[in-house]
Structure 1
Amino acid sequence: MTNLACLALLLATLAACWGQPAYAASLGDLDPVFAPPVTYGVGQHVRAVCMSDLDGDDVLDIVTVCWVDSAFWVLLGNGDGTFAPAVRYPIAGSPYSGDVGDVNGDWIPDVVTSSLDTDYVSVSLGIGDGTFGAPTIISVPELPWFVVLGDLNGDLALDMIVSTPSPAWDLAILMGNGDGTFQAPVHLTMTQYPKTLTLLRLDGDDDLDLIVVHPGADGFSVLLGNGDGTFLAPFFYGIGDYPLEAGLGDIDHDGDYDIAVTCSDDGTVAVLRGSAYGTFAPPVYYPVGNWPQDVVIEDFDRDGHADLCVANNGGWTISLLRGNGDGTFQVSEEYDAECCPHTLAPGNFDGDLDLDLFVGNSEDDFSSVLINLATSPATGPETGFAGGP
């Protein structure tokens, strides 16, 4: 993919936002799950949101990766559902994705970002008080799109995978040395251009597996890990038009990962039930809002069943599809998200038992927090999975 094509894709996403009015949720007789959004200034055009306890106070903090601002921003949580004013950390280029993890073995979260118009990723080491040092640069192939961290070979050092749609459809795998540095990238060529990446254990062993979403090929690939930093050949699953993001969780209480993928051109989310072998059943499609971007699987209404939450970038709403516990979902409920929701990050921000929602907006210079209002006690086991190692 050329630089011009990548820019065209980003502009198409922004164009879906312009001129769209926000509208209120229509819930019928249902109790609302989320309160109206509260906005925070976090820089322009949020492309990724990461969560971690950055300052050691046992409260979730937020990192937003902002494309236009050439920076990531940090919001330290207060533990009551509010956040301190955001602090900006400059990054060269136009950062498009990021991840948080301890890359140098000091038990303090660090931030890794990829800049789409460069040939490197940036590593910013955490100080331990919620602040970060100056970024160091790690060379990768041209146009690093998405970056994810995980221990691929069981040596307790975080490794890195970067998707690079140009000049070749590559995944760059960089093994971590455990001191904040990484080895030279090993290239894994895909047959379709790769975008978003998810690392998790799909098939019941201790090795991290990889899910790669391919927007231009209308599908996603599963690469089972060998436990040494390499992967088996990808297995491709075709789904709806122009998939963008994947969410993982157990939607049918069988203990296996299931997957939901947003199909942006269709205005749907594709749901595929998983098996213990890392394979997936054919997709079932659920209508959501206009130009869906991100999707997460968690039990938001505390009934013991996993739900779907979808960011509708073109409709300025969040869709909530309540799970029935058997792998199916109810009709979508719509919640106001202010402007152009792009990325979702669920977490307990106010210290109760409910999952709140941080919404990164791809337009304007603010993002939103939706506090969970659910009061029903959970009636079943934990239903969502946390991605990564």
Structure 2
Amino acid sequence: MNQGDGTFAAPVAYSNSASGQTAGIAFGDANGDGTLDILSNGAAGRYLFYFRGNGNGTFASGVQSTAAATTATNSALGVVAGDFNGDGKLDAYILVTTASGGVRPMTGNGNGGFTSGTVVTTGASPGLNAIATADMDADGYADLILTNRGSGTVTVVPNGL
């Protein structure tokens, strides 16, 4: 944790419930308790993991989402979090490898669990390599921002997918 003087405390590693590397990280209150939680997607395991925040800078070990975030033919590259469907619960989008740029919505249930949606392709070719979210058009809704691998372009998806 940041010590407030430009230094940090010793790092603490938190494990997830599956082996393999993680490829993305996002933050938000996934269980509605008012504390910051961590979301991470597994590149090899292809899952979304929820690390419950304890409110004191520590976190519980990662719990796998309720459904596989990608299929065996896809790898997860990144994750963003926000209330994308307007229900007041934290949702996520996972960037997955597809030839035409895929993202998978993960709908939050408000207690730290997520339901996996179908991969949506964006048409970006040869695929995507980064994902971010912000309200780019100031309409009060989160937009997705995607970088396209190989083409040097950025795709903005207004109001999510």
TM-score (norm 1): 0.37
Match of 2:46 among 119, 133, 153: 119
Unaligned residue ranges in structure 2 (runs of 5+)? none
Does residue 68 of structure 2 align to residue 136 of structure 1? Answer: no
Letter in 2 for 1:132: F
- Give, in angstroms, the shift of residue 166 of structure 1: 4.2
- Give, in angstroms, the shift of residue 118 of structure 1: 2.2
- Give, in angstroms, the shift of residue 167 of structure 1: 7.5
Alpha-carbon separation, structure 2, partners of 1:167 and 1:219: 15
Does residue 28 of structure 2 align to residue 101 of structure 1? Answer: yes
Does residue 88 of structure 2 align to residue 156 of structure 1? Answer: yes
Counterpart of 2:11?
A: 86
Does residue 91 of structure 2 align to residue 183 of structure 1? Answer: no
Q: Deviations over 1:213-254 (max 9, x none)?
A: 0122221111111xxxx53xxxxxxxxxxxxxxxxxxxxxxx
Alpha-carbon separation, structure 1, partners of 2:57 and 2:117: 30
Letter in 2 for 1:97: G
- On the 8 A contact 1:153/1:207 being kept in 2, the answer is no
Larger radius of gyration: 1
Runs of 4+ in 1 over 3 A off after TM superposition: 166-169
- On the 8 A contact 1:163/1:194 being kept in 2, the answer is yes
Alpha-carbon separation, structure 1, partners of 2:120 and 2:40: 20
Alpha-carbon separation, structure 1, partners of 2:116 and 2:13: 29
Letter in 2 for 1:118: G
Alpha-carbon separation, structure 1, partners of 2:52 and 2:3: 22
- Give, in angstroms, the shift of residue 82 of structure 1: 1.7
Unaligned residue ranges in structure 1 (runs of 5+)? 1-75, 232-389
Q: Deviations over 1:77-122 (max 9, x none)?
A: 2222221111111233111211111111111111111222222121
- On the 8 A contact 1:171/1:194 being kept in 2, the answer is no
Alpha-carbon separation, structure 2, partners of 1:126 and 1:216: 37
Q: Output aligned runs, 1:1-389, within 5 Å.
A: 76-91=1-16, 92-138=19-65, 139-141=68-70, 142-166=74-98, 169-191=101-123, 192=125, 193-225=127-159, 231=161
- Give, in angstroms, the shift of residue 149 of structure 1: 0.3
Q: Deviations over 1:15-47 (max 9, x none)?
A: xxxxxxxxxxxxxxxxxxxxxxxxxxxxxxxxx
**Which protein has the bigger helix share?**
1
Number of residue pairs the alignment of both structures matches: 152
Q: Percent identity?
A: 28
Structure 1 168/136 Cα, relative in aligned 2: closer, same or farther at 3 Å?
Answer: farther
